[in-house]
Amino acid sequence: MLRCVESPHGEVRYRVALQWLASQERSRPLLVIAHSLDAARALVRTATLEVGATFGWALESLASLPLRLSALPLAEKGLSVATPLALEAVCLRVVSELQSMRLLGRFAHVADRPGLPRALLRTFSDLALADVDLTRLARECPELATAFERYQQTLLLLRLADRAAVLRQAIATASSKEAASVPELVCLFDLGPQTKLEQDLVTALASAARSSLITSAAGEVVSTVGSAAEGSEQLLHLRVQCRVAV
């Protein structure tokens, strides 16, 4: 069962999350995911003051969970998670190669500036996390599309995985029915995903769990987990009930 709680008041969402945790069995595997590990620890710590000791409750954040879910599959593919410095070096290589082939276009005027690889890395990261279609990008900005495609090809050549690749693999792992990577009980507490791939991961986690609770500020739940509910009417019904109760 998917239960969504929307409220603009943080204390309301916190209280609902505590009540949901307190209603679960203390010895069943349960995963608490928050925007940070400190937030997850604080929530579970407060819950255990009420229910006592627990066994099998795990804590993750939106930053740490994708790494855990993707670690083994990426290793099986021979891929390593790239550090920010490594990704910047990849962008520097891309700029150098495209400059030698005269394919930088409008970026050729600043090709010798040290800030270009770093600026491209931020742009490439945003494009990848937003899951932007390369064909559409090529129509809007051909030079950027060429550089972005070269960047992705270089990552594959060097057997490196960026944040977007980690998230895509984490989504695939969470969606796999054979894998027991996601427990039956999941509490998604105020995650606030900022990118499309993060939203897709939240949806996959909610769908994989037998019973899940999602708390969010008003207006965020529909875009991130609406497709994970069995039906839009059920999701709306739960949301209205929670607002009336508040």
Cβ within 8 Å of residue 241, ≥6 positions away: none
Interval 156-167: pLDDT, tens: 999 999 999 999
Confidence category of residue 146, pLDDT binned at 50, 70, 90: very high
Percentage of residues in the chain having pLDDT higher than 90: 68
Q: Are strands 80-81 and 160-161 parallel, antiparallel or unpaired?
A: parallel
CB neighbour class for 85 (10 Å; exposed up to 12, middle 13-18, buried from 19): exposed
Average pLDDT along the chain: 88
Q: Is the pLDDT of residue 118 over 60?
A: yes
Two structure tokens written together for 66: 């994708």
Cβ within 8 Å of residue 236, ≥6 positions away: none
Strands (E), 89-225: 160-161, 185-189, 211-216
* Residue 183: predicted pLDDT: 85
Interval 195-206: pLDDT, tens: 999 999 999 998
* Residue 75: predicted pLDDT: 97
Two structure tokens written together for 206: 């909610």
Interval 13-64: pLDDT, tens: 999 999 999 999 888 999 999 999 999 999 999 999 988 888 889 999 999 9
The mean pLDDT of 222-236, rounded to a whole number, is 51
* Residue 217: predicted pLDDT: 84
* Residue 244: predicted pLDDT: 42
* Residue 240: predicted pLDDT: 42
CA distances from 202 to 20, 187, 236, 239 (A): 18, 11, 18, 18
Q: Is the pLDDT of residue 1 over 90?
A: no
* Residue 136: predicted pLDDT: 92
* Residue 218: predicted pLDDT: 64
Confidence category of residue 178, pLDDT binned at 50, 70, 90: low
* Residue 86: predicted pLDDT: 97
